[in-house]
Amino acid sequence: MTPFETERLIVRDWTEEPADLARVFDIYSRPEVHRWLGGGTRVMDDPALAVERVRIWHARNAGHGGRYGTWAIQVRDTGRIAGTLLLKPLPGRDKGVFSDDIEIGWHLHPDSWGNGYATEAARGALERAFAAGLPEVYAVVFPGNEASVAVTRRLGMTPLGPRTDWYGGEELETFVLRRPS
């Protein structure tokens, strides 16, 4: 499924094809990517875990009827996957409980950093979310992740400061964008 496309990107479901699974492993096995991830994730240390991760994403996507998802960001011109785009309910303070707040997030491979892909993909997802009637979307960023803070600025998100509402109470820099009236 392809939820949407932008000028340079195709945002689509991850697949269990070998190239997708290799890229999932390559992204999520990197300490420089993992250091900014929360929610109890660990550095992927076995390629077989990529299959498990993709299956979890598919189940979540199906559970939301396609409204939200964890999708691959594919560069149109090269076919290369730049990373992952998230548009999903934020996990609450308690394990297994999700809030009504919706998160936008991005996890890009280091070889795709600095190209504007996170901003472009997130803009597309925000347009889609607001067109579907969502009133607001949050981004949560680990303190010190200046690259992601810069993406939130480019998206026009409003900083709310540090909050502990989600991800088991971890303190995260929080940003919001409300649907234009």
Half-sphere exposure of 122 (CA within 13 A, CB side): 25
- The mean pLDDT of 57-78, rounded to a whole number, is 90
In this structure, are residues 113 and 92 in contact, taking their beta carbons and an 8 Å threshold? no
pLDDT tens for 96-140 read: 678 889 999 999 999 999 999 999 999 999 999 999 999 999 999
In this structure, are residues 162 and 173 in contact, taking their beta carbons and an 8 Å threshold? yes
* Predicted structure pTM score: 0.94
Domain 4-134 bears CATH identifier 3.40.630.30: yes
Report the distance separating Cα 153 and Cα 151, nearest Å: 5
* Closest by Cα among 39, 36, 119 to 73: 119
pLDDT at 43: 83
Place of tokens 């979310």: 129
Domain boundaries, the chain: 4-134
Confidence band of 53 (pLDDT split at 50, 70, 90) = very high
Report the distance separating Cα 108 and Cα 69, nearest Å: 16
